Amino acid sequence: MYELQMDLVRKNLKLWLEEDIGMGDVTTMSTIPADRQSKGIIHLKDNGIIAGLQIAEAVFNIVDDQLRFEPKVQEGQAVSYGTVLAEVSGSTRSILLGERLALNLMQRMSGIATRTRQFVDALQGLPVRLVDTRKTTPGHRLLEKYAVRIGGGYNHRFGLYDAVMIKDNHIKGAGGIAEAIAAARSQIPHTMKIEVEVENKEQLEEALNANPDIIMLDNMTPEQMREAVVRMKSQAPHILVEASGSVTLESIYAIAATGVDVISVGRLTYSVQALDISLDLNERKGGTS
C-alpha cells in the first residue's frame, strides 16, 4: 500500500478543521446535548473506487480521540451505490464537527481514484505507465497524488524541487533547448533527471543532440508520436519517452500504442468529479457507552 506522509497531512487537517469550525459549531452546540452518543454511518451514493479512509479516520481522531472509526471496505476497493464505507461512533457533537471535512476529502480522493482506474483500464495490455501532473488543488497535492496511486496510476514529480522539467517558457527564457539543458546540467546534482518538452520534429532533434533523460512529446498526434518514438529508439534508446497534452479516455489507447513509455494526464486531478458520499446518524440516547 502506498504510504502517505501522515505527519504533514495531520498538520493540514488541523488547519482545515480550524477553517471550518472557527470559534465553534454553533448549530451543533446549541442543539445537541453534550452527553449524546451516536454512530455515524458513512455510505456511498455513487459507484467507484474508494480512497481516503485513513484520512477520514484522522479527521475524526483529531476532533476527538475517543471516537471509534471502523472501515467497512478496503482502500482502493471498487464499490457500488449504497455500500457502507465506514462507521464512526462516540460523541454526537464530535462526529458532526468532523463530518464535512472527512466527507469532502473522501469524496474528492475517491473521485480521483475512480477516474484514474478508468484510464488504467483503458491501457490494459500495453506496457505504458500512466502518471499524474502538478495540476492539483493547492494544499491538497499529497492527498490527490496518493489517490492517483490508489487508482492504479503513478506519480510524476511532486513539485518544482524534485526534477528538472524544461517546458516552452524555459526554452524561450534560456535561448533554446540545448542552452536550457546545458545550463540545468551544470547546476543540478548528478542524481537528478532532466526532462524536456518538445512540440515538433525540429525541437526533437535539438533535444536528442542535447541528450536529456526524458523527452516529452507535447500535444502531438499519434502519427507524429509514432514517428518520434521510432526516431528516438533508433538514436537514443536510453531516453524515456513521455506523451502529454489533452489526453482523454477516448484517445489514450491510440497514444499508448505509439510506443511511448509514459503518458501524463492532468485531468486525473484537475477536473475530476467527486463521488457522492454521505454520513447518517443512527442515534443512541444517553451518556457514554
Closest CA to 98 of 122, 66, 137: 66
Beta-strand relationship, 84-91 and 78-79: unpaired
Sole residue written with cell 539543458:
181
Catalytic residue among 14, 36, 100, 284: 100
Among this protein's residues, is 135 annotated catalytic?
A: yes
Distance CA 19, CA 16 (A): 5
- Cα dist from 287 to 7, 38, 63, 270, whole Å: 33, 10, 19, 44
Among this protein's residues, is 87 annotated catalytic?
A: no
Burial 233-269 (b: 16+ CB within 10 A, else e): eeeeeebbbbbbbebeeeebeebbebbbbbbbbbbbb
Distance CA 226, CA 223 (A): 5
Catalytic residue among 167, 172, 201, 233: 167
Among this protein's residues, is 218 annotated catalytic?
A: yes
Distance CA 195, CA 193 (A): 7
Among this protein's residues, is 100 annotated catalytic?
A: yes
Sequence-ordered list of residues with C-beta below 8 angstroms from that of 127, at least 6 positions apart, any chain: none
Q: Are 115 and 27 in contact (CB under 8 A)?
A: no
Distance CA 39, CA 279 (A): 10
CA 134 to chain centre: 9
Catalytic residue among 135, 141, 157, 185: 135
Beta-strand relationship, 78-79 and 48-49: antiparallel
Catalytic residue numbers? 100, 135, 167, 197, 218
